[in-house]
Chain A
């Protein structure tokens, strides 16, 4: 550590104003603040600084994502051996197999995204923002394991350039970048992100043993084979095919707890989205027009990426509603639309992605009306006081 610090101090002058590599000072800053707590102090006036700066916030989300990532790696290996009919495989072999499949996706996502972020920061003379650290982890977690790596790269580039940099970088984006990357693949290369083959490693080219289908619970539900949906405890623990990080609800709940305790993820959004989802599925239960509508609310919220979406994506502080009341409306509608899209449109097997992106669009509008309503209320009150 000491040696590293000394090394940084030694090369620092070259990156400062007038130095040889002045142009690259944002790159240097990024690495320095990544490794050490920045020692910058303000020179004018007094500022209150929260110890929880953006870097710590982002690191916290990453930590909250670790359980889903670890389980995703294990499940990738587990599903692979299951599809090959091999049930007597050791734990570490499963993890190793999964790691070999998942790690390249993580690396591609980070390398593409971070190089674009660095390039833009460099060109604009900004500091490099940490925003991509989370997106770069979320992107692999919401991909099917068989996704070709170049598609991950293209989608990440699309999301970072058009979803973020075009709007002005971290903190300015209208849409959640990770979801944008997934939506891009969903519409551009639908064959690689839907169907029964893409969710289990090796299934797109290889053969599975008889009786094994790579279909996700959502696919079973959409084809009205509701009896094929795995039992609740499997859905909860995550021994099912699906996007890498979404399968284990237990891991997601651990992450959610961490986000709520540290105050980084808004519990209001999570709870109201859950309420929205349950409300919609209860309405469907009442209508009961087809087998999909008759699925119980508990199964509905356990299927697909609903929980993953509302815990990690809907709570994205940039693209979500900012006002406290607005968060309830925003979350509730996400839950409602997720289930609605899922059940009504068989072409879109999972509605969570589209529901969150849709509500991202409306978040500023919701905030606007909440603020307006508040102003109106207070105007009325003050009018009453002055009249009295």
Chain B
């Protein structure tokens, strides 16, 4: 019997990484880029989409050819696939959203070394069927993106009073003495924000707390 495309089991691949198996807050992967590109919301969104595309398609491609890859050189093969996808994404960004591409600078290229991509290939795509792998890749990319966007949201809102470049905090508040929080723009605050998200997530999901 053929399994439906979006069976409950498959859907779980997609939704699991959003919360209980989140690549950033639970697996603690991909922290580096999460700190670097979340000063503003727009680059965070673009980065989230780029990573989702790369994880999704690299999982799909590697999974389709997994039986033909000699185990000894599998890492090199994986890297070639990831690198090609990243180059495509990078070129697309340069062509259509040049300003964001400039802001993301080296971090698009660094998706190649993002632990999430490699981790999912090794842990999932090498052993699972293409469609399930694709879902898993998209799910993990989305889980990563979700955190990135949440962090970017708070950092831009509190750090510069804007969202997507639009002034959100009204002018009269500034006249009353409100000031933008300069710490939010600095990388440490991204780490602290992620820490707070982890704190909240674990308080809500008791099963995530380490038993020791």
List residues of chain A with CB under 8 Å of any chain B CB: 148, 150-151, 162, 166, 184, 187-192
Tell me how far the C-beta of B62 lies from the nearest C-beta in chain A, rounded to whole angstroms: 39
* Contact assessment for B183 and A187 in the assembled complex, using a CB-CB cutoff below 8 Å: yes
Q: Does B181 make an interface contact (CB < 8 A)? A: yes
The total of chain B residues at the interface (CB under 8 A) is 12
Q: Which chain A residues border B186 with CB–CB below 8 Å? A: 187
Cross-interface CB contact of A166 among B178, B184, B195, cutoff 8 Å: B195
Q: Does B179 make an interface contact (CB < 8 A)? A: yes
Cross-interface CB contact of A188 among B178, B182, B195, B196, cutoff 8 Å: B182
Q: Which chain B residues border A148 with CB–CB below 8 Å? A: 177
Tell me the complex Cα distance, A189–B193, Å.
18
Tell me how far the C-beta of B206 lies from the nearest C-beta in chain A, rounded to whole angstroms: 14
Q: A187-B183, A188-B181, A189-B179 are in contact. List 6 more A-B contacts (CB 8 A).
A: A148-B177, A162-B195, A166-B199, A184-B183, A188-B184, A191-B179
Tell me the complex Cα distance, A162–B197, Å.
12
| Total residue contacts A-B, CB cutoff 8 A | 23
Tell me the complex Cα distance, A184–B192, Å.
12
Q: Which chain B residues border A189 with CB–CB below 8 Å? A: 179, 181-182
Q: Which chain B residues border A151 with CB–CB below 8 Å? A: 179
Which residues of B from 161 to 186 have beta carbons under 8 Å from A? 177-179, 181-184, 186
B182 (CB) vs chain A CBs: closest residue:
A188
Closest 7 CB pairs of A and B: A188-B183, A187-B183, A188-B181, A188-B182, A189-B179, A148-B177, A190-B182
Which residues of B from 181 to 207 have beta carbons under 8 Å from A? 181-184, 186, 192, 195-196, 199
Tell me the complex Cα distance, A124–B174, Å.
37
List residues of chain B with CB under 8 Å of any chain A CB: 177-179, 181-184, 186, 192, 195-196, 199
Q: Which chain B residues border A190 with CB–CB below 8 Å? A: 182
A189 (CB) vs chain B CBs: closest residue:
B179
B196 (CB) vs chain A CBs: closest residue:
A162
- 23 residue pairs bridging A and B, Cβ less than 8 Å apart: A148-B177, A150-B177, A150-B178, A151-B179, A162-B192, A162-B195, A162-B196, A166-B195, A166-B199, A184-B183, A187-B182, A187-B183, A187-B186, A188-B181, A188-B182, A188-B183, A188-B184, A189-B179, A189-B181, A189-B182, A190-B182, A191-B179, A192-B179
Tell me how far the C-beta of A183 lies from the nearest C-beta in chain B, rounded to whole angstroms: 9
Q: Which chain A residues border B195 with CB–CB below 8 Å? A: 162, 166
A190 (CB) vs chain B CBs: closest residue:
B182
Tell me how far the C-beta of B182 lies from the nearest C-beta in chain A, rounded to whole angstroms: 5
Tell me the complex Cα distance, A206–B183, Å.
28
Tell me how far the C-beta of B201 lies from the nearest C-beta in chain A, rounded to whole angstroms: 14
Tell me the complex Cα distance, A151–B178, Å.
9
Tell me the complex Cα distance, A151–B181, Å.
10
Tell me the complex Cα distance, A150–B177, Å.
9
B192 (CB) vs chain A CBs: closest residue:
A162
Tell me the complex Cα distance, A51–B182, Å.
46
Question: Which of A166, A187, A188, A190 is the most central at the interface, judged by chain B CB atoms within 10 Å of its CB?
Answer: A188
A185 (CB) vs chain B CBs: closest residue:
B183
B179 (CB) vs chain A CBs: closest residue:
A189
Tell me how far the C-beta of B173 lies from the nearest C-beta in chain A, rounded to whole angstroms: 11
Tell me the complex Cα distance, A192–B180, Å.
12
Q: Which chain A residues border B182 with CB–CB below 8 Å? A: 187-190
Tell me how far the C-beta of B192 lies from the nearest C-beta in chain A, rounded to whole angstroms: 7
A151 (CB) vs chain B CBs: closest residue:
B179
Tell me how far the C-beta of A237 lies from the nearest C-beta in chain B, rounded to whole angstroms: 34
Tell me how far the C-beta of A262 lies from the nearest C-beta in chain B, rounded to whole angstroms: 36
Tell me how far the C-beta of B103 lies from the nearest C-beta in chain A, rounded to whole angstroms: 22
Tell me the complex Cα distance, A191–B177, Å.
12
Tell me the complex Cα distance, A188–B184, Å.
7
Tell me how far the C-beta of B74 lies from the nearest C-beta in chain A, rounded to whole angstroms: 40
Tell me the complex Cα distance, A192–B186, Å.
18
Tell me the complex Cα distance, A244–B92, Å.
56
Tell me the complex Cα distance, A151–B177, Å.
10
Tell me the complex Cα distance, A184–B178, Å.
16
Tell me how far the C-beta of B195 lies from the nearest C-beta in chain A, rounded to whole angstroms: 7
Q: Which chain A residues border B192 with CB–CB below 8 Å? A: 162
Question: Which of B178, B179, B192, B196 is the most central at the interface, judged by chain A CB atoms within 10 Å of its CB?
Answer: B179
Question: Which of B183, B186, B195 is the most central at the interface, judged by chain A CB atoms within 10 Å of its CB?
Answer: B183
Tell me how far the C-beta of A82 lies from the nearest C-beta in chain B, rounded to whole angstroms: 26
Tell me the complex Cα distance, A326–B165, Å.
50
Tell me the complex Cα distance, A309–B178, Å.
29
Question: Which of A150, A151, A187, A192 is the most central at the interface, judged by chain B CB atoms within 10 Å of its CB?
Answer: A187
Tell me how far the C-beta of A349 lies from the nearest C-beta in chain B, rounded to whole angstroms: 17
A149 (CB) vs chain B CBs: closest residue:
B177
Tell me the complex Cα distance, A151–B183, Å.
13
